[in-house]
Amino acid sequence: LRTRARGLGRRFPEGFVWGAATAAPQIEGSVSAEGRTPSIWDTFARIPGTVAGGDTLDDADDHFRRWRDDISLMRDLGIGAYRFSVAWPRIVPGSDGVPNRGGLDFYDRLVDELLASGIDPFVTLYHWDLPQWQQDAGGWAARSTAYRFVEYATHVTDRLGDRVRHWTTLNEPWVYVFLGHLLGVHAPGERSEAPAVRAMHHSLLAHGLGVQALRTALPVDSHVGIALSMSPTEPATPEADDVAAAERNDLYRNWLFLHPITRGEYHPLTGELFAEPIPIHSGDLEAIAEPIDFVGINYYARAVVRADESVAVTRAQETRPDGTYTAMGWEVYPQGIADIVAQTHARYAPEAIYITENGSAWDDEPAADGSIVDRERVAYLLGHLDAATQSTDAGLPLRGYFAWSLMDNFEWAEGYTKRFGIVGVDYATQLRTVKQSGAVYREVLAAHREAAGDEGKPARP
Ligand code: GBH
């Protein structure tokens, strides 16, 4: 295993960024500390039946208090970059828009300590924790949310812009827009098309206006992008109707957001997906297409689609091919990571691509001595890294990889029952244990560092 990990590490190009990712609502806890007010997930989790086991964000990984230890852990793993999100309701706790010093101070210290540890901070501005006060003003279905997002982003860049070089506007808008507004399984729990279509457009607008604001606020050597959920989508059979269904599903799932961001217009087939009108104002599409420096891909699994006249394209049309499935019920399909990078490059040729998330949940069983030998996660990790070398070998601009997740955390509707960490968390004691997958990742990173002689070199875009 060690040999395989070390061999893999050596196959990545010089300057390749190795990271781990988290998100504020999933790890921080301390939900009312230093002036934080509730987010839509605090509210949603309190509705009976929404989150497994009635779990809430209240304690999570207690990272808000243990952040220093968590950075030591990253240092111990040899991680070169840390992707985390800033909690909007910590920065702007109320509708008066006044920034909150206590919230800003937290991320200020975090960034300083990361830099002092030689870890490059990758900041995500929005990872699903809309302030409840803004939901009360209409949430993503309201245009004002895009403007409030820009004000919030500006407070963050005012404080961190001198030290953070990589910025992501939104994490997976597709997921919070459709799971949150059409399917109702994520916050805010709405179930109809009108708010979903509006949330889609206002998210794109928030992204575009956010990029413009970031460009104004940040030094020129800063890199700005977005992280999108992507599942390469294939037809279940070569039959024409399956192929057609897969094509529409592919557009819906993978390119709905990236197309307007890179082209300045919605994909021509977007109108066929929705009956509700998209609330476009003049100038919106230009703003949405403000150039970005990188696309972040969050890759977990592929989708294999068959035609089904009885369901809309925006509902599941997936089949379940034979294979290995994670505890989330997602197929293990390493080739998909190379496929989706190739497809993204072929369609939109972004300057740089990062895998901003990749990982898997399994029912980890700690051994009697407390160690966690997570064989399936090790296999998933190595399999996906192996496949990712297809992209770098082909000369595609894949610049980095972030494991999801640094540590077990609040897995949204699944609560704390699903574990994605390469580090285990015992929620009763908050004890962290590096899993075998974490140890293997450490080997990959060490081998890459030695082979590329990367020590001390700054990361590339
Ligand atoms: C991400 O969402 C989130 O950014 C992160 O916060 C979260 O904890 C993590 O992933 C794990 O869930 O049905 O087989 O085609 C990922 C959401 C996962 C949505 C994969 C689409 C398709 C799998 N995506 N899913 S499949």
Q: Which tokens sit at 398? A: 């894949």
Q: Which atom of ligand 1 approaches the CA of 411 most closely? A: 8
pLDDT tens readout for residues 97-142: 999 999 999 999 999 999 999 999 999 999 999 999 999 999 999 9
Percentage with pLDDT > 70 across the chain: 98
| 376 neighbors 363 (Cβ within 8 angstroms) | no
Q: Mutate which of 177, 230, 231, 304 to test ligand 1's pocket (most atoms within 8 Å of Cβ)?
A: 231
| 253 neighbors 231 (Cβ within 8 angstroms) | yes
**In this structure, which residue's CA is closest to atom 22 in ligand 1?**
301
Whether ligand 1 lies within 6 angstroms of the CB of 231 is answered as yes
Active-site annotation, residues: 172, 357
Pairing of strands 294-299, 233-235: unpaired
Three-class SS state of 350: coil
427 has a pLDDT exceeding 90 = yes
Q: Which tokens sit at 449? A: 């560092």
Mean pLDDT calculated for residue range 294-314: 90
Mean pLDDT calculated for residue range 33-50: 98
Mean pLDDT calculated for residue range 255-261: 98
**In this structure, which residue's CA is closest to atom 3 in ligand 1?**
172
Three-class SS state of 161: coil
* Distance of alpha carbon 390 from the chain centroid: 22
Whether ligand 1 lies within 6 angstroms of the CB of 44 is answered as no
Q: Identify the bridge partners of residue 19 per DSSP, sorted by sequence position.
A: 81, 402
Confirm whether pTM is higher than 0.95: yes
pLDDT tens readout for residues 166-186: 999 999 999 999 999 999 999
pLDDT band at 315 (very low <50, low <70, confident <90, very high): low
